[in-house]
Amino acid sequence: MVVTSSPSQLAKDWAKGYTSQPNEYEYEIQDIDGEIPSDLQGTLFRNGPGLFEIGGKTIGHIFDADGMLRVFRFQEGKIYFQNRYVRTEGYLKEQEAKTILYRGFGTQKSGGWFANFFNTNFKNAANTNVIYWGEKLWTMWEGGYPHQLNPETLETIGLDNLNGLLNKETFSAHPRIIDDIFINFGVSGITPQTLTIWELNQKGKKITSSSYPVDGFSILHDFLVTPNYYIFIKHPFKLNPLPWLLGFKSLEQCLTFDNKNQTKILIISRKSDTIEVLETEAFFGFHHGNAWESEDKIYLTTICSDSFPQREKDKMELDKMSFDKPIFGQLWQLTLDLTSKKVTRQPLVKRSCDFPSVHPAFVGQKNRYLYLNVASKVTNQAPIQSIMKYDQSNGQYQMWNPGERSFAGEPVFVPRQGTIEEDNGYLLSVVYDACIHRSYLVILDAKNLSSPLAQCYLTHHLPQGFHGTWTSKNFLK
């Protein structure tokens, strides 16, 4: 498909995908093009921002918007939808007060610097990821504890400290599951920091935990795991906290991406708790794909950019995004040589992309296929709209494009029952269609992305979300 929309039209359509959805729904989806596979039984849980205004005042960054679950339950060829806001303490207080009561990553309270002076109380937005593990449904936000919800009703139970496992640490929104072990991390402190890593069994009980000092300030959003290592990428940021503490600037505005410094790769042994640090030229990337070991090397895939997407203004003006300039984020493979201590980089996908994922059975193992969102245009001058299946063995790929004015979200891979073949399964993604201001769930055959198996249309739109997970349970009432 040839994309003909102007950059300004693309920006307006993309921004419409971040329109608030204040309503909560629960219904069986009836408007379906195609057929839902009979073996697709379970639940797709997704999370993301839902409210971008409070009392008529716009928040400063999508990272600060209240979390709203979007849930699709599959049973016997039918699909049931429900969305519900996480009733965090901040959500309840701001809805009652009808005004912004908390600062955030890019949000300032109303009232100027005096209202923000030494106010470091961020709202736990519970808006980044959601996962069912150890018979608990957690909504996750990297700056605090997870919230536990009822998986049948989506009612908020409350903050969960994992039976006292968490203390001052945060609990990341990017856990990894390898060999039926749930691994997550948290960070405490501002500069320097302490990194804590936990491994939990299938019942959600601790197997191991370990902590490590980290110099300076880091934005550790994601990580990777192999049978022998945890891998963290520490991008070169500097933080000047004084304007933030004095209330003059948001935290985002006090960050500087130091591209003259080195990106550090922390390789932590799962067996001995030792750390090795390798350095390479500066790059930034929120999300990683997968990592695997071979002899004395570690190979990993990650999204790389030479800059950090930072704004100078307090206002969130998404419709003024300029897609006529290069957008950050390309897929690279990094090779970490544990003998020579050198890092080499190889570009894989030279177009805007994000949200890479693999078949869950191949986490930490050498994998052939990556599933990710990419720009529909070959050039790196467009928002991500399409879904790609990338073959690392030969550089070939398949793409599904939802349409010139539509935007597909993170693809979640669901294996066909009883198989572990890397592309024997389904890709599920929530798509926003700006032409009709509605969203739909698309079901793709991971072997062949040429045509959807089903497009399941909602009666309304959903704001573009962040992350989600699949479970074989459907929790139907």
Q: What pLDDT, in 10s, does the model give residues 427-475?
A: 999 999 999 999 999 999 999 999 999 999 999 999 999 999 999 999 9
Report the range of poorest mean pLDDT among 141-150, 173-182, 415-424, 461-470. 415-424
Residue ranges of alpha helices (H) inside 286-396 are none
Residue ranges of alpha helices (H) inside 342-438 are none
Rounded to the nearest 5°, which phi and psi values hold at 64? -100, 0
pLDDT at 327: 61
pTM of the model: 0.95
65 and 88 Cβ atoms separated by less than 8 Å: no
What does the alpha-carbon distance between residue 5 and residue 403 come to, in Å, rounded to a whole number?
A: 11
Confidence band, pLDDT 50/70/90 cuts, at residue 1:
very low
Confidence band, pLDDT 50/70/90 cuts, at residue 326:
low
pLDDT at 9: 80
Counted residue by residue, the chain has a size of: 477
Of the candidates 50, 200, 199, which has an alpha carbon nearest to the alpha carbon of residue 126? 50
Q: Is 80 exceeded by the pLDDT of residue 421?
A: yes
The two structure tokens encoding residue 205: 């009980």
Which segments within 434-474 are labelled E, that is strand?
Answer: 438-445, 454-457, 468-471
The two structure tokens encoding residue 128: 């980044």
CA atoms within 13 A on the CB side of 138: 25
Task: Kindly state whether residue 217 falls inside one of the protein's structural domains.
Answer: yes
Residue owning tokens 């080499």: 344
Task: Kindly state whether residue 2 falls inside one of the protein's structural domains.
Answer: no
457 and 32 Cβ atoms separated by less than 8 Å: yes
pLDDT at 65: 96
The two structure tokens encoding residue 405: 């004015």
What does the alpha-carbon distance between residue 336 and residue 422 come to, in Å, rounded to a whole number?
A: 24
Question: Is 467 assigned to a binding site?
Answer: yes
Q: How many domains does the chain have?
A: 1
Task: Kindly state whether residue 476 falls inside one of the protein's structural domains.
Answer: no
Q: What pLDDT, in 10s, does the model give residues 146-162?
A: 999 999 999 999 999 99
**CB atoms near residue 378 (< 10 Å):** 11
pLDDT at 285: 87
Q: What pLDDT, in 10s, does the model give residues 349-381?
A: 988 999 999 999 999 999 999 999 999 887 756
Segment 35-48 mean pLDDT: 97
What does the alpha-carbon distance between residue 104 and residue 62 come to, in Å, rounded to a whole number?
A: 10
Amino acid at 455: Q
Residue owning tokens 């069994």: 201
Domain range spanning residue 127?
Answer: 7-471
Q: Assign 171 to helix, strand or coil.
A: coil
C-alpha angle 16-327-287 in degrees, rounded to nearest 5: 90
Confidence band, pLDDT 50/70/90 cuts, at residue 325:
low
pLDDT at 88: 98
Amino acid at 265: I
The three-state (H, E, C) secondary structure of 324-353, written as one string: CCCCCCEEEEEEEECCCCCEEEEEEECCCE
Task: Kindly state whether residue 427 falls inside one of the protein's structural domains.
Answer: yes
Name the helix (H) or strand (E) containing 200. Answer: strand 193-200
57 and 100 Cβ atoms separated by less than 8 Å: yes
Of all residues in the chain, what percent carry a pLDDT higher than 90? 81
Question: Is 460 assigned to a binding site?
Answer: no
Task: Kindly state whether residue 131 falls inside one of the protein's structural domains.
Answer: yes
Q: What pLDDT, in 10s, does the model give residues 265-324?
A: 999 999 998 999 999 999 998 899 999 999 999 999 999 988 887 666 667 777 777 666
Segment 411-421 mean pLDDT: 91
Q: Is 50 exceeded by the pLDDT of residue 135?
A: yes
What does the alpha-carbon distance between residue 353 and residue 3 come to, in Å, rounded to a whole number?
A: 17
Question: Is 359 assigned to a binding site?
Answer: no
| Contacts of 228 by beta carbon, 8 Å cutoff, 6+ apart | 269, 270, 271, 293
Tell me how far apart the 2 most distant CA atoms of the chain are, in Å: 60
Q: What is the CATH number of the domain that holds 370?
A: 2.130.10
173 and 467 Cβ atoms separated by less than 8 Å: yes
